[in-house]
Structure 1
Amino acid sequence: MENNESIKILFEKYLADACSLAEVRLLLDHFNKTEEEESLRELIRQQLAAPVVQNTETDRAVDAVRDALMKKIISKKETPLPRSKPLTFQQWTRMAAIWFLLILSAGTVFYFYRNPSEMFSSTGGKDTHVQMISVSTQKGERKEVVLEDGSVIWLNAVSRLTYPEKFGKDVREVNLAGEAYFEVSHDNERPFFILSGKIRTKVLGTSFDIKAYSEDKTISVAVLTGKVQVSNSESKDPVLLIPDQRVLFDKTKGNFLKETQIQASSLITWREGKMQFRNVVLGEVITSLKRNYDTDITCNPALMNCPVYADFEAGTPVAKVLEMLSVSVGGSLANLEGSRYYLDGKGCP
C-alpha cells in the first residue's frame, strides 16, 4: 500500500532537488502505475497553486533541459491542467520537473544530469548503472532480505524495502515503509542510512527495529545492539540511541520522545510470528492484527484506548486472539460473518 503522505513529501523533495537515488526510484515506481495518474495530477495542481518567489536569474543548464523537455511534452497528448492565468517561469519549472518523473522512465536523465555522481557506480574503472530492488510483503507475510554487504533485514507484514543492488563506496542507503528488523554489517568507511517517512536513521553496524507504517501516528526506532542516530529535516540535533532504548517520532507534532529503559528484544518477536503487547492501547493492537490476519476487525470507540498486556504464539487463530482480547478489556466479541469481527463494550475495566 503506497503512503500518500510519504509520496507527497518525496515529491516536494524532488522539486527541491533533495531526493536520493532510492527516493527517485520510489517515485518512478509509484507514478508509473496507471491508477496513480490522478494522484500525480493532484500533486501538479497543488504545486502550481503554491506561492513562488520570482527570480530573474535563470540557470542556463536548466534552460537547455527545459527547451528539450518542451518538445517532448508537446508530442504527448495530455489534457492540460486548468488555470486562470499564464504560468510564471517558476511555475513552469515546477511543471517541467513533474513531467521529468514520467519521462525519466523512457530514458530522460534530468535528475542524473543535475546529480551525475548518483547515476553510476564505479567498478574497476568502468561505469555501471545502479539497479534498484524493491521487496514487499502482504498481510501475514514476512521476508528475509540479504544485502550485498552482508546486512540482513527481516520485513514484517505489509512492508516495503527499496535498496540498490550494489552500494556505492561512500554510503549505504535504503528506504523503508512499514516495519523491519535490521542486522547491519559493520563498515566504518560506509555508514548505513535508512529513510523511513520523515525520519533518517544512521548506523555503522548494529541491530535495531524500525516501525514506520503510514497509518500509525508515530515512527519508532528501537536498538538491540550498537548505536544509532535518528533525525529528521527539522531537528537540529540527532537522537542517539544505545541498546534497550527507543525513540518515538510524532508525525503530527514533528518531535521526538526518547525511552531509555525498554526490553528491545520484545519488540522483534514478530520475526517468529509471535505477537507481544505491553501497555499498548486496543486500537493499535487491532491495527497490528489487521496487518497479520486477512480479516476485518472493528471496535466500539469506548474500548479503543484500553491498555492491553498480552502474548500470542505464532499460528494462534484470529478468533482466539480476539476472544482473549475481549475478555481482557471487559468486552464481548461478535463474529459478524466470515472473517468480520466486532469488539463491543462499555469502556475499560
Structure 2
Amino acid sequence: MPNNHIYLLISRKLSGEATPEELERLQDLLAASTDQQFQAEILSAYFNTPHNYNSESDISQEEKIQRILHAGDAFARDEENVVGLTSLKSRRKWYFAAAAVFMIMFTSGWYFFHQKEVMIHQPLPRQVAGNPGKLKEVVTRSGARTMMVLPDGSKVWLNAGSKLRYDEDFNKKLREVELEGEGFFDVVKNPKMPFIVHTSDIDIRVLGTAFNVKSYAGDDNIEATLLRGQIEVVRKDDPSAPKVILKPNEKLIFSREVTPARVRSADKIPDTVPMSPVISITPVSGSIPDSEKSETSWLYNRLVFEGDSFAELARKMERWYDVKIVFRDERLQHIRLSGVFDNEGLEQALQALQIITPYSYEINGKEVVLYEK
C-alpha cells in the first residue's frame, strides 16, 4: 500500500501550500526511501509537464488528468486579483494537485510503459563483482532508459546500453561516478565537494549543473553537452594539458580516432608519429527545446539524428530497439541521414528510412539485415 501521508504532503507541495514543517517532514520521509523519492519526482514532473500522445486511448486517459491540471490553473488565473479569496483559491488548488497525484498513481503503469517498453524506471544498484561492499552499479539494457537519484540528491538519466558505477561512500568525502554509455546529469550544487564523471578518455568536473555525456565504447567520439552551469574537462591521456571549460549551450567532442602523421627523417625514410586525440567545441542551439536537440532528445523518448551516416544511425538504433543490425552492402553504411523517430516501432522506422534512401531489409528475430535493392 502506498504511504498516504507522503502523497498528502506531495499534494500540498505541488499546490504550493505546504508549510516549512511539512516540507521538512516530506524531505525526511523521501530521504529514507529512494523508491518514494523517485515516485515524488515522477509526480512532480507529470504535474508540471504537458504531454501529447497519438492514439485515442492515450488521449482520453491523458485528458482526464489534463482537465484537472488545466482547471486548477484556470481557477487560479480567474481569482488571481480577487481580494478575500486567497483561502478558497488555496484549497481549490490543493484539491487539484491532490486529484492529479491520485490519478497519476493509478495511471503510472499506462504512462511509463506507453508506446514501448523503454520508459524510465527506477533501478536497484547492484554490487560490482570483485568489489564486494564497495562499488555499486546501475545497468540499462538496450531498448530501455533509467532514472536514478544519487545519495546527494543529484539525478541521473541513463540511456540504453549504459552503465553507471559509484562507491558506496559516495557523498561522504567524494562525489565521483564512472560512466559507460550515455547519461544526463542534474547535479546538486556543493562547492566543497565537486562532482566528477569519469569516462574512458576524459574526466568531467562540476559543482552544480545540468549536462549530457555520451561515451559508448563502440563510438568514435565522446561528447559532453552543457545546458546550464559550467563544467571542466580533463584529458586522461595528458592530465597536464590545459583544462577545457564549457559554457552553457556548448558541446565538447573528443575524437577517439587518431590519424598518425607521417614525417620524413634525415635519411628520407617516412616515419609515423602518433598524434593526440582531437578536442573540439561546437555551439548547441539554445533557441530550440531540449526535446528537439539530438543531444538530449532521448530524454523525451525521441531519437533525433542529424547528418549521421547510416552506420552511426544503425548503432543508435541497435541500442534504441535492442537489435543487431548487419549491413550486407558496405555502400549503405556511408549514406548520410537526418530525421526523427518519435513513437515508431522498429519496422516503422526502417520503412521511414526507405523514403529517404532506397534499400531493403529483413528482420530475423533480433537481427536486422540491410542491403541494396
1:326 Cα offset (Å):
2.7
1:167 Cα offset (Å):
2.7
Q: Distance in 2 between matches of 1:138 and 1:155?
A: 10
Residue-pair matches, total: 221
Counterpart selection for 1:245 from 233, 250, 269 = 250
Q: Are 1:333 and 2:324 counterparts? A: no
> Which residue number corresponds to residue 182 of structure 1?
185
1:200 Cα offset (Å):
0.2
> Which residue number corresponds to residue 333 of structure 2?
304
Matched ranges for 1:1-349 at <5 A: 29=128, 32=130, 131-235=134-238, 236-253=241-258, 254-262=277-285, 265=290, 266=293, 267-299=295-327, 300-314=329-343, 316-328=344-356, 330-345=357-372
Q: Distance in 2 between matches of 1:247 and 1:200?
A: 12
Q: Is the 8 A contact 1:137 1:157 kept in 2?
A: yes
Identity over the aligned pairs, expressed in percent?
27
For the pair shown, the structure with the greater C-alpha radius of gyration is 2
| SS in structure 1 of the partner of residue 190 of structure 2 | coil
| SS in structure 1 of the partner of residue 351 of structure 2 | helix
Greater Cα offset, 206-215 or 254-263: 254-263
Task: Sort the Cα spacing of 1:343 and 1:147 in 2 relative to 1 into closer, same or farther, 3 A.
Answer: same
TM-score (norm. length: structure 1): 0.59
Q: Distance in 1 between matches of 2:369 and 2:352?
A: 13
Q: Is the 8 A contact 1:333 1:341 kept in 2?
A: no
Q: Is the 8 A contact 1:170 1:189 kept in 2?
A: no
Q: Is the 8 A contact 1:331 1:344 kept in 2?
A: no
Greater Cα offset, 165-174 or 245-254: 165-174
Q: Is the 8 A contact 1:169 1:190 kept in 2?
A: no
* 1:270 counterpart letter in structure 2: W
1:147 Cα offset (Å):
0.7
User: For each residue in 1:72-113, what CA deviation from the matched residue of structure 2 results, as whole angstroms up to 9, or x when unmatched?
Assistant: xxxxxxxxxxxxxxxxxxxxxxxxxxxxxxxx86xxxxxxxx
* 1:277 counterpart letter in structure 2: F
Q: Distance in 1 between matches of 2:335 and 2:285?
A: 21
1:164 Cα offset (Å):
2.4
RMSD between aligned alpha carbons? 2.2
Q: Is the 8 A contact 2:220 2:256 kept in 1?
A: yes
Task: Sort the Cα spacing of 1:234 and 1:296 in 2 relative to 1 into closer, same or farther, 3 A.
Answer: closer
* 1:312 counterpart letter in structure 2: F
1:181 Cα offset (Å):
0.4
Q: Is the 8 A contact 1:333 1:343 kept in 2?
A: yes
Q: Distance in 1 between matches of 2:231 and 2:372?
A: 42
1:223 Cα offset (Å):
0.6
> Which residue number corresponds to residue 87 of structure 2?
none
* 2:337 counterpart letter in structure 1: V
Unaligned runs of 5+ in 2: 1-126, 259-276
Task: Sort the Cα spacing of 1:209 and 1:203 in 2 relative to 1 into closer, same or farther, 3 A.
Answer: same
